[in-house]
C-alpha cells in the first residue's frame, strides 16, 4: 500500500539523518513519502532540507511559524497534506523504531482494521525507553485512567497514549478532531469507533536530544481527557474546582493570620479570578481564542464579570454566617452556586466569535458560533 509517514518535530535536528536512513532501509521496495511537520525554533528545518536532498524517496517539509495545538495539531496538518490514504505517525527521536513499520503495514493489509497501534503494553512490547520509574508509573496510570473513561471505544487498545500508529485517513473525520498537545491517538480513538489492531514494539531510548514531556503537557492531557469525556463544561468545572480550592485555602490562611473573613474573601477572590482566567485562556477555551478578539478584551470582560459576581457572592456571606454556617463553608456554597452562571457567560460572551454582519458571515463563522455551547 502507498504510505505517508508523518513526523512532527520540535528541535530534533540531530535525529533527522538517522531517522531517514532507517526509514529508507526499513521500507525499501515500498512506495512511501515522509512529511515533516516542524515547529522548531532552531536549525532543524535546514537540516531536514539538506538530508532530504540525499535520499531516494520523497521528503516534504511543512514548517509552522505559528504552531497551533502542539504536536497533535502538527499531526493533523500532516494528515491534511498527505498524498496517501494510509498515514503512519511517529516521533522524530527514534524512540519509535522504523524497523517495526513493516509489521504494522502487514497487519493493516489483512483488511479488518482502521488503525494499527504499536503498543508498549501488549505481549512482546516494552516501555524501557521511558526515562525513569516515575515516568513509567505515570504512563501506566494515565493508560488505566484513559481506558476506564472510554471502555467501549478503547476496547482492544492496550496503549492509547502511544504516538506510534498507522491509520486509514478515510476512516477518521479530520474536521471533528480538536488536538491538544501530545495525545493525538487518544483524540482520534475517542471521537469515533474504529476497528483497532495492535502490534508490540519496544519503546527505545532517545537517539539524541531531550524529552519534550513536561508538567504542562501533563495538565494539557488531563484537560484533553476531561473535555473528550465530559465536554467543555466539565473542563470548566475542573478549572473552577482548582480555583475554588485555591480560594478557600487562601481565605483560610489569611483568617489564620488574623484577617477578618470579609477582606480575606476579597483577596482570595481577586487572586483566583486572575489565575482562573489564565487557566481558561490556555486550557479550556484555547481553540476559541483566535475568533474572539484580543486577550486583553477577554480579560476585561472576564475580570469585570467575576468581580461583580464576587461582590454579589461575598455580600451573601454575612447572611449565611449569621445563619450559623462556618465562613469557609459558606464561601464554598456561594462558589458552587455561581458555577453555571460563570460558564454560560464565558462561553457566550467572553469567548464568542467577534460579531460580523449576517451577509458577511461565512459558513465556517456561523458553524463556530453554533459550537460555542455544543462543545
Q: For 87-125, write each residue's pLDDT tens digit.
A: 999 999 999 999 999 999 999 999 999 999 999 989 988
In this prediction, residue 373 carries a pLDDT of 31
Q: Which position has the higher pLDDT, 157 or 373?
A: 157
Res 361 pLDDT > 60? no
Res 248 pLDDT > 50? yes
Question: What's the CA gap between 39 and 87, in Å, rounded?
Answer: 20
Phi/psi of residue 145, each to 5°? Answer: -60, -45
Range from 95-109, 169-183, 228-242, 275-289 carrying the lowest mean pLDDT:
228-242
Question: What's the CA gap between 375 and 370, in Å, rounded?
Answer: 9
In this prediction, residue 224 carries a pLDDT of 62
Q: Which position has the higher pLDDT, 367 or 10?
A: 10
In this prediction, residue 364 carries a pLDDT of 38
Q: What is the pLDDT of residues 142-171, one digit of tens each?
A: 777 777 677 778 888 999 989 999 999 999
In this prediction, residue 244 carries a pLDDT of 82
Q: Which position has the higher pLDDT, 233 or 52?
A: 52
* 280-285 LR contacts (CB < 8 Å, sep 24+): 280/236, 280/239, 280/346, 283/219, 283/220, 283/223, 283/235, 283/239, 284/223, 284/227, 284/232, 284/235, 284/236, 284/239, 285/232, 285/346, 285/347, 285/350, 285/351
Does domain 3-211 fall into CATH 3.90.550.10? yes
Question: What's the CA gap between 116 and 198, in Å, rounded?
Answer: 5
Question: What's the CA gap between 351 and 285, in Å, rounded?
Answer: 7
Confidence of residue 368 (pLDDT cuts 50, 70, 90): very low
Question: What's the CA gap between 234 and 229, in Å, rounded?
Answer: 9
In this prediction, residue 97 carries a pLDDT of 94
Q: What is the pLDDT of residues 199-208, one digit of tens each?
A: 999 987 755 5
Q: 329-361 in b/e burial notation, b at 16+ Cβ within 10 A?
A: ebbbebbeebeeebbebbbeebbbbeeeeeeee
Enumerate the domain spans of the chain: 3-211, 231-374
Do 295 and 289 contact (CB within 8 A), yes or no? yes
Give the mean model confidence (pLDDT) for residues 126-136. 65
Q: Parallel, antiparallel, or unpaired: how do β-strands 86-89 and 3-9 relate?
A: parallel
Query: Going by C-beta distance under 8 Å and a sequence separation of 6 or more, which residues neighbour residue 218?
Result: 138
Question: What's the CA gap between 195 and 115, in Å, rounded?
Answer: 6
Mean per-residue pLDDT of the chain: 83
Confidence of residue 370 (pLDDT cuts 50, 70, 90): very low
End-to-end CA distance of the chain: 37
Q: Which three cell numbers mark 74? A: 502538527
Confidence of residue 336 (pLDDT cuts 50, 70, 90): confident
Sign of the C-alpha dihedral computed for residues 125, 163, 213 and 160 taken in this order? negative
Task: Name the pTM for this structure.
Answer: 0.63
Amino acid at each position: 500500500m502507498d504510505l505517508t509517514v508523518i513526523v512532527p518535530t520540535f528541535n530534533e535536528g540531530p535525529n533527522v539523518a538517522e531517522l531517514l536512513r532507517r526509514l529508507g532501509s526499513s521500507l525499501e521496495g515500498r512506495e512511501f513519502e515522509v512529511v515533516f511537520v516542524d515547529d522548531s525554533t532552531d536549525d532543524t528545518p535546514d537540516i531536514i532540507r539538506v538530508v532530504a536532498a540525499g535520499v531516494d524517496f520523497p521528503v516534504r517539509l511543512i514548517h509552522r511559524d505559528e504552531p497551533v495545538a502542539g504536536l497533535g495539531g502538527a499531526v493533523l496538518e500532516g494528515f491534511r497534506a498527505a498524498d496517501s490514504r494510509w498515514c503512519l505517525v511517529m516521533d522524530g527521536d527514534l524512540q519509535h523504531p522504523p524497523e517495526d513499520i513493516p509489521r504494522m503495514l502487514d497487519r493493516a493489509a489483512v483488511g479488518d482494521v482502521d488503525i494499527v497501534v504499536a503498543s508498549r503494553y501488549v505481549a512482546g512490547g516494552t516501555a524501557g525507553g521511558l526515562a525513569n520509574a516515575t515516568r513509567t508509573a505515570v504512563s501506566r496510570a494515565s493508560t488505566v485512567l484513559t481506558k476506564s473513561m472510554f471502555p467501549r471505544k478503547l476496547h482492544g487498545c492496550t496503549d492509547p497514549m502511544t504516538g506510534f500508529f498507522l491509520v486509514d485517513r478515510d476512516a477518521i473525520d479530520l474536521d471533528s478532531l480538536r488536538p491538544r498537545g501530545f495525545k493525538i491517538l487518544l483524540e482520534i480513538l475517542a471521537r469515533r469507533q474504529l476497528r483497532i489492531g495492535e502490534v508490540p514494539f519496544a519503546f527505545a531510548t532517545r537517539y539524541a536530544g531531550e524529552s519534550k514531556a513536561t508538567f504542562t503537557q501533563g495538565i494539557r492531557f488531563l484537560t484533553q481527557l476531561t473535555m473528550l469525556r465530559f465536554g467543555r463544561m466539565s473542563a470548566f468545572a475542573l478549572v473552577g474546582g482548582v480555583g475554588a480550592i485555591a480560594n478557600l485555602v487562601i481565605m483560610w490562611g489569611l483568617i489564620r493570620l488574623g484577617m477578618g473573613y470579609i477582606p480575606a474573601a476579597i483577596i482570595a477572590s481577586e487572586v483566583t479570578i486572575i489565575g482562573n482566567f489564565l487557566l481558561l485562556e490556555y486550557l479550556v477555551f484555547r481553540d476559541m481564542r483566535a475568533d474572539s478578539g484580543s486577550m486583553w478584551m477577554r480579560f476585561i470582560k472576564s475580570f469585570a464579570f467575576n468581580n461583580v459576581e464576587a461582590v454579589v457572592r461575598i455580600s451573601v456571606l454575612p447572611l449565611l454566617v449569621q445563619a450559623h454556617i462556618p465562613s469557609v463553608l459558606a464561601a464554598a456554597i456561594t462558589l458552587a452556586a455561581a458555577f453555571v452562571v460563570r460558564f454560560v457567560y464565558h462561553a457566550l460572551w467572553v469567548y464568542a466569535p467577534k460579531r460580523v454582519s449576517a451577509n458577511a458571515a461565512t459558513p465556517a463563522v456561523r458553524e463556530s458560533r453554533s459550537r460555542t455551547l455544543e462543545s
